[in-house]
């Protein structure tokens, strides 16, 4: 009788273990998708910032305020890109995760934290903004030097930063994924 109880207990333990492993596996898949989406939102913001930066920002002026010397094409300058990346994660605090009617989740910019759409929980929205900001910091800590080098040498151009950052450098997205071409910045709260 004791061996039958022991056998039943072992079977229950194995069942519980199997259920836990399945749940862990499902949460890992979800986590990977969240990281891919967050990485692409960060890459999109880098693209936007780079495209808005004037090409001759590094031009020098004489004592009378007139242009002096050669124009410096700063679109690909190391200092410009470094400054952009250094301030990026603070800007990502303006983003939150939005669930669409299709159950797809995308990162969107919040323009007015005091005027969220009806039904939005401000604490939840803020928690997502903190998540993407801290994710951004970890992502750039791991990839900044390599990304900077690729951009500086011209190996990564505008329009391809998402693929370089999210597929190649961090591997947060599957290289077969369509997510690297999505534009996450068109939607806003």
Q: Is residue 7 in some structural domain?
A: no
174 within a domain of the structure (yes/no)? yes
Query: Is residue 5 a part of any domain in this protein?
Result: no
Tell me: the pLDDT tens digits for 117-160? 878 888 888 999 999 999 999 999 999 999 988 887 878 888 89
Residue 145 lies in a domain: yes
- Asked if residue 26 belongs to a domain, the reply is no
* Stated pTM of the model: 0.67
- Joined tokens for residue 19: 């259920």
Cα distance between residue 86 and residue 83, in whole Å: 5
- Judged by DSSP in three states, 67 sits in strand
**105 half-sphere exposure, CB direction, 13 A CA radius:** 13
Query: Which residues lie across from 60 on neighbouring strands?
Result: 68
Q: What is the DSSP letter of 97?
A: E
What token pair was written down for 171?
């591997």
Would 18 be classed as within a structural domain?
no
Q: What percent of the chain has pLDDT over 90?
A: 26
13 within some domain: no
User: Total structural domains in the chain?
Assistant: 1
- Residues 8 and 17: their CA atoms lie apart, in Å, by 14
Rounded distance between C-alpha atoms, residue 183 and residue 176, angstroms: 17
Residue 152's CB is within 10 A of a number of other CB atoms, namely 14
Q: What is the pLDDT of residues 78-95, one digit of tens each?
A: 777 888 888 999 999 999
Range of the domain at 69: 32-181
């Amino acid at each position: 009788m004791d061996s039958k109880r022991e056998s039943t207990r072992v079977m229950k333990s194995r069942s519980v273990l199997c259920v836990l492993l399945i749940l862990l596996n499902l949460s890992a898949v979800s986590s990977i998708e969240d990281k891919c989406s967050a990485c692409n939102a960060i890459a999109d913001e880098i693209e936007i910032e780079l495209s808005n930066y004037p090409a001759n920002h590094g031009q020098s002026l004489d004592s009378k305020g007139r242009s002096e010397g050669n124009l410096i094409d700063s679109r690909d300058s190391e200092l410009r890109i470094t400054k952009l990346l250094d301030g990026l994660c603070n800007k990502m605090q303006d983003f939150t995760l939005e669930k669409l009617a299709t159950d797809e989740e995308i990162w969107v910019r919040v323009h007015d934290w005091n005027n969220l759409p009806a039904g939005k929980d401000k604490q939840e929205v803020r928690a997502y903004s903190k998540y993407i900001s801290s994710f951004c910091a970890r992502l750039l800590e791991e990839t900044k030097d390599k990304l900077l080098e690729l951009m500086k040498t011209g190996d990564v151009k505008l329009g391809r930063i998402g693929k370089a950052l999210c597929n190649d450098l961090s591997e947060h997205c599957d290289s077969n994924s369509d997510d690297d071409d999505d534009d996450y910045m068109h939607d806003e709260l």
